[in-house]
Structure 1
Amino acid sequence: MSSNANGQRKKTGIPETPYDELWRSGRSRFGVQQLRLGRDKKWHFVGQLPDETVVKIMREHWWFLVKSALPLFVVLVALILIIWGSGKLASPIWPFLKIIAGVAILGALAWFIWKDFIEWYLNTYIVTNKRIIHSHGVLQPERQSTPLDNVKQVGMDLDTFWGFLLRYGTVHVYLVGGDFIMKNVPNPRAVKDTIDDITEKIRASKPQEQKPPTPDNPQVAEVIHGLAKAKEPPPLENADEKYILRNPEGRLGPRRTFGGILRIPCEVRYLSGEYTVRYIQRSRYVFYRKILLPILALCIFLPLSVYVPATSTPIVSSHLTLWWIVMGIIVVLLALSIGIIYTNYVDDVYILSNKRIFDIQRHFIFFFENRRELEYKNIKDIKVKVPNVLQRLLDIGDVYIDIGGAPTIILPTVDHPFFVLDKINEIKAHVTKAEALKKDNELKKELHDWFGKVVTSLVDSTQMKGAPNLGNMDLLEAMGVANELGFHVAVYGEEPRQDIPPGRVVRQSPPSGTVIQPGGEIQVVLAKRATTADLMEY
């Protein structure tokens, strides 16, 4: 049938579709393979645009494929041990164990290929000269396309110890009005550089945005410009201005570090346009309350460890080495407990950004971290409770943030709780106002374009202009000058003249400089050669 079809195509003159173009057409959309290397030695994918080229292809780091293959490795090791054991010790059970191990290997291999390898292989990031495409899924494939002309900034991080060791991490693409995150990609710095280069080329090739047309009338232009002027909400303070930006190429987040002198970076990651408004520390009252007992104990045991041996007590003198060891351990433990209490207090921070609230609780430096986050739009109610009279005198209290349908977030024992409540309400109102102003500014921009075109056309069409001076012009020249200004010329008559060549304008009506409506008529009298009769009459 194929030969007959080809013959019919040749007879009818229908051009044969190249194989690569056929693969890139709709026929391949239902196949598993969505990406292949074409005959032109370039990568192609389903839905590729005609002027689109593939720059980079990424999948998750191979380490995640190895982790998924651990059951298969365990079964292989078991089979090797069985084979080794059968060579060392004769037993009728070895063949049976070999069969079980072989079946287990086949089952683990089939499960690994179906469940892990195919899913890993199809989970692909394609970076082209126009967009980033993320496709994943086997039976229910999904695909996300992100244009690169909306990119504002690109950040990257090596999030974990294994990521730092094996060089894989997260690439965060900050977009206009959103974010796109690529997780566990190999060599994230190279990916970031590639996206930065593409976005710079797109910005360089993009034509500059044309300004809306402005009427020539300065008063009308000023009114339109004033109505279209965008309004910005009053800016909130930026709490990170006093901190150093340690990683300019990293993902956006709080600049404040944790862990005291260790300066451990915060693991919170901000969205596009997000920044820190305020860090809220728990009250020093909490710190003093927790550290009081260890300090008192240290003040007792430290002098006691030196004073008791000096008194020549028989029991201590006979076990002086043991005494120093025990007291040294107690003093070191008390000092460590003081350091841990201080670190935990410093790291127990609440972060108010311009978009979210973060409750961060780090314990034991970097061994434990608990974090909750909340968007301002989800806040239903905020209230303050002061548990006792002492805290009322010290201006300390608990701030309760009520969320509809979710557990309440509590900011316990913070200084100036009513100020914190007012600050959260202020940021919440700022977020609401900023969203409303953003919509208004977008509408103003559209209306500015529309009004600029309409008003400019109306002003141009109704503008009064003066009649040009057509004197001593020939008829064609006079008609051209008048047409440029929106007027037309009509010949009213001829007049014999000796001083003006024939066919030129002797006089016009209305005279030069007279204001007339666009499209108005200018009547002209042309010169003609004077005859003998005309001279006699003259």
Structure 2
Amino acid sequence: MASIEEKAAFLDKVHLFRRMEDDPLFAVAEKLGETRFKKGETIIERGKQAEIFYLIYNGKVRLHREGQGQKDVVFVPGDYFGAEALLPRERRHSLVLAEEDLLLFTLTKRDFDELEKDIPYLKKNLQISVSSRRLIKEIHFDWVRENEVIYFLTRKHPLLFWRSVIAPIFLLGIPLGLVALISNTIGALLFTAIPIVVAFIVFVLWVLWRLEDWRNDYYIVTNQRVIWIEKIIGIHDSRQEAPLTEILSVDAELDFITRMFDYGNVNVRTFVGNIHLRSVHHPYQARHIIEELWDRSKIYSRQEEKEALKKAILERLENPDPTEAKKKKEPKKEVSFWRSLFPKRERRGLKLRYEQGKTITYRKHWIVLLRQAGLPGVLTLALSVFIGYQLLLMFFPPPDTTPPSLSFISLLALAALVTGGWMIYQYVDWSNDIFQVSEDKIYDIDRKPLGSVESRSAPLDNIQSIEYRRIGIWNYLFNYGTVYIEIGTADFAFEDVLNPAAVQQDIDNRRLNHINKAKAADAKKERDRIVNWLLAYHQSSDDFKKLMDGDGIDEASDNINDIDIY
């Protein structure tokens, strides 16, 4: 059984109790009970009356949720579930199973009610958590990665919405007031009824649009990153994010007014740029959740390093002198002379995204191709139809008409060739304007047909921030936009790409994989150095024992010198 001190130390790391003074923290710890579950056992059944609040001390649980949002998630030590038990008239909305053997801390409704008298803000923290998790169950995000869990989801403060509709309310009141002053007769009222109705409909549509705009802005915290999604229906769509592993600091900014209404700015500073959560509802809770998950990411990283070091030590103790092995490369297949002159190439046609080896290539959207090649294409089609009609008149002339001359048709054919060549040029120009993401770099390549080639590249680990934007109704309808990549003074823009959110995700995944590989390589070098030192110590202990037994100094010294510790 965990002691009160251990429970208090555990609670101090959970964002619900973060920054709590020692007296209330120990008061909560004293009320916590303990319960255990075996792997596969049901902890909570969906639809049952909520009775107990659970905190995970050891083990993992799996939640199966209802709704459109994230349905199947795994919670780990430090997480909690069943907060509905502490709020009135709440029922369970999730099925919770033990993913492995568990030790849970429990808090009953009666104990919580006693604590609430001395710690009133504890209930507020729970209400914020329950509200956020309800939103998580309702809203689905396609970009959530495997094993990624959304912990916090909120919108901007509702005051921002009401502030945005004050102007139209005021503007609607002016004409209504004027109508009331000048309309002295029923006829005048009927005459002014139509503009009043139109103004009212416009006002209602404006309010609904502003409401939907407010509802589509989200601030999200997962176990991997912090995200800001901003959407303006039909006009703008963007997503900014910052990985937890790259965070340097988190702070909340509030002034006198924002503190009264419980909203403010949360600033997250990272190695790869900053992300600002502006006018976020419950800023302190958002900050505490980010800090908790940030601390967890550092703990998990240290645990992984420790396990890797342990594994490396055991492997070297079993095999102190490993021999290097090099895999034999497969012989290259012989290529015929004609195939070398005319290599087989994949037909990409109008593909906007394709992978070749380990490189992802993006083209600009078809809308851009239509803008570039649309006019010459229409002219070529019109000229071709007209030439066909003229040929028909030449070979089958109607009575009493003069057939068109061959020279006239030749001029039309020449014009069609020119416009056709113009169309092909524009297609090739569109096809050659590409953006690429390899395992370690990004590329922006613009190759002009029969002309120059402009190519820029930058390492993935130099990326400071990634953001995408869809601006305009056409971008929104056809789901294309620009991905902006900040790399010091040399910024990149993947312009007019299909599904910019997915492109941003591809770049971010490649960047994280590259960074993780580099970190893993550095960590392996450091582990090897430590293992060599430990192995030297292990062998020198045996040699020292031999020396004390009189086996000789030279043999012991030679054994130590044979070990490469660098």
**Which of 1 and 2 has higher RCO (CA within 8 Å, sep 6+)?**
2
Structure 1 length-normalised TM? 0.34
Structure 2 length-normalised TM? 0.33
Q: Greater CA radius of gyration, 1 or 2? A: 1
